[in-house]
Structure 1
Amino acid sequence: MDRLLEILIFAGIIAFQTFAGYIDNKYMGVILPVIFTGIVGFLAIAGQLSFSMRDVTMPILGLFTLLGIYASGKESKKKKIQKELDKMKAQDIIKG
């Protein structure tokens, strides 16, 4: 049951970041990276993270992953708009 909950949480995080990028809302897109950075900072201050290679690279990788998910949602919206514009141009040429 714990695995299912973890999968649902990750799916929710990915969906939220993608949606924030899709609607191009920078403030919504920065919520999860700030929370993630805060949690990593808290864990570092509390002594839960050491300065090993894994404990340094994983938070950086996680942060870039969240930013990448936001960017992919934004790119998806751009492609959809461009596709619609191309379709409209094609219809104008046919009618024109």
Structure 2
Amino acid sequence: MNHIVGILVVIIILLTQDYLSTRKNPYLGGIIPLVYIGVISFFFNRLMDSNDNSSTWVILIVALCGLLSSWISGRERFKKKRQKELDRIELQNL
């Protein structure tokens, strides 16, 4: 049951990140990566208490890269959608 809750939390975080990164304000998509960095900084010593430090680093870096790539892809989708709307408006004006 614990694993299911963890998976649901990750899915909710990723969906929220995807939603925030496609909004008009580009800084909204940066909220979750900044919060992630803050939480990791706060609990850094506790995370490094385990014996396998290399896997902990890999997990931290992969998660941050995933959040940032989601932010970047959301911004690109927003720009494409906006450009498509501008092209459609320009076509109607002709």
CA RMSD in angstroms comes to 2.4
SS in 2 for 1:9: helix
The percentage of aligned residue pairs carrying the same residue is: 28
Unaligned runs of 5+ residues in structure 1 are: none
Q: Do structure 1's residue 39 and structure 2's residue 39 form an aligned pair?
A: yes
| C-alpha distance in 2 between matches for 1:50 and 1:29 | 34
Q: Which structure has the larger Rg?
A: 1
Name the amino acid aligned to 1:21: S
CA offsets, 1:8-39, max 9 Å, x none? 2122111221222111341x333322332233
Deviation at 1:53, TM superposition (A): 3.0
CA contact (8 A) 2:21 2:30 kept: no
SS in 2 for 1:64: helix
Query: In 2 relative to 1, CA 49–70 (structure 1 residues): closer, same or farther, beyond 3 Å?
Result: farther
Q: Determine the structure 1 residue equivalent to 2:69.
A: 68
The normalised TM-score by structure 1 is 0.72
Report how many residues are paired. 92
Query: In 2 relative to 1, CA 22–89 (structure 1 residues): closer, same or farther, beyond 3 Å?
Result: same
Name the amino acid aligned to 1:63: L
